[in-house]
Structure 1
Amino acid sequence: MAEIKDPENTIIIELKDGPVTIELLPDVAPKHCERMKELARAGAYDNVCFHRVIDGFMAQTGDVANGNMEKDFNIRAAGTGGSEHPNVPAEFSKLPHSRGTIGAARSANPDSANSQFFINFKDNDFLNGQYTVYGRVIEGMEHVDAIQRGEPPMNPDRMISMKVAADA
């Protein structure tokens, strides 16, 4: 079991193969961390698919508008939406996009992050300074590595649930 130092800033994502524990970095990207916790507490990430999973790069999820496999699910639309909340401005830092880090997905506009995020499969230094890093996997990366690949995947994996550890 991962040692959880700060339950209020720890996220647990349940995947088909097991839990993934993420340590949020509120000192680096407070607005992004708050948004993830807000949406997790609302259950918005539950049953949301991984709509873009590129081998040797990253797994992207978090389209709470189009990616929920319980709603009117359309894999082609997944990846185009966010939440009903306003976009989150960029919180760039010196932290590298290393294996297991959580990055904020966005459009070409640096201030367009909303609910979508990605988990890096490997060190992706070319993303440094261009996408907000706001967390890191501290346990369960093997479950992330097992996510179905594709853009979009034929049978996408999903986040069964996402919880803030303080609420679990």
Structure 2
Amino acid sequence: MQTKIRNWLLSTLAVAIFAIVGCNPQATSAPTDSPSASPSATASVPAVVPSSPQANNLPRLEGKATVVMTVKGSPITIEVNGTDAPITSGNFVDLVDKKVYDGLVFHRVVREPQPFVVQGGDPQGKNPNFPLEQLGTGGFIDPTTNQPRNIPLEIKPDKASEPIVYSKTLESKNPKLKHIRGAVAMARSAFPDSASSQFYFVLADQPFLDGDYAVFGTVTQGMEGVDKIQQGDRIESAKVTQGIENLKRG
């Protein structure tokens, strides 16, 4: 019984810690007791694709793509799933193609008391003089508009072909793309539509995150390289090796 209580407390603490780190420059931190902004942010009824001009102009991945990310000389192959997460995947592939991730730092690595996540993608980390402990609040600024690019929370319910849930967490906690070991997902703040460029690798199955954060890919080769990433390590390069023709930039 004590072991079960301890594991529950660890999971709850992990949710609280995770909720306050992934964000964009404009976002506010989530409450420390919940991964979502408020109870009203959950819904079991799928919503339509966002119709705002910003959402319409976001990149989309129509199909799949392969990204190879190199860290400390080790290639990490990621299959990006635009079939089940087209906006989230399109954003990631577009940023890879723009070389946004090259040179960025993994600012958050959690392996104790149990394997959790490896997180990076804050553009502020490209500056070698930027303090590591202050990373985690930055997002991609589109140079064509000089405005932050944020993407809607995008989660597809399991065994559902259409539609995808946008801008709301999934109350059923049963998404098609789950937080299993090797999954790649977007970090965000309490505001559902605050994801930008920060992403994380999942080090062990984390089902309590399912339905709250958008998984968009999985590591197909090189997970041993992910397991070796330490806080402060940099992405040497990230390249789209297959599927760039599936990227539609809006």
Answer yes or no: same fold by TM over 0.5.
yes
Q: What whole-Å deviation, never above 9, does each CA across 1:10-57 have from its counterpart, x for those lacking one?
A: 110001041000000101111111111111111110010100100010
Structure 2 CA distance for aligned equivalents of residues 145 and 20 of structure 1: 11
Out of 133, 136, 149, the residue aligned to residue 79 of structure 1 is 136
- Is the deviation greater in 94-103 or in 76-85? 76-85
User: What residue number does 1:3 align with?
Assistant: none
Distance in structure 2 (CA, Å) of the matches to 1:8 and 1:122:
24
Whether the aligned pair in 1 keeps the contact of 2:179 and 2:205 (CA below 8 Å) is: yes
**Matched residues, number:** 153
The structure in which a higher percent of residues are helix is: 2
**What is the aligned partner in structure 2 of residue 104 from structure 1?**
186
Q: Whose radius of gyration is greater, 1 or 2?
A: 2
Partner of 1:67: 125
With over 3 angstroms needed to count, the CA separation of the structure-2 counterparts of 1:18 and 1:69, relative to structure 1, is: farther
Once the two structures are TM-superposed, the CA of residue 61 in structure 1 deviates from its matched residue by 0.5
- Stretches of structure 2 that go unaligned for 5 or more consecutive residues are 1-62, 143-148, 157-174, 245-250
How many Å separate the matches in 2 of 1:29 and 1:63? 21
The match for 2:219 among 112, 131, 137 is 137
Residues 1:163 and 2:239 aligned together: yes
Is 2:125 the counterpart of 1:43? no
Q: Is this contact kept in 1: 2:64–2:83, CA < 8 A?
A: no
| Structure 1 gaps, min length 5 | 1-6
Where in structure 1 do 4 or more consecutive aligned residues deviate above 6 Å?
A: none
CA contact 1:22–1:136 (8 Å) conserved in 2? yes
Provide the TM-score with structure 1 as the length reference: 0.86
What does the per-residue CA deviation read over 1:135-159, in whole Å, with 9 as the maximum and x for residues that have no partner?
Answer: 00000000000011xxxx3xx1111
SS of structure 2 residue aligned to 1:33: helix
TM-score (norm 2): 0.58
Identity score, percent: 41
1:113 to 164, 181, 195: 195
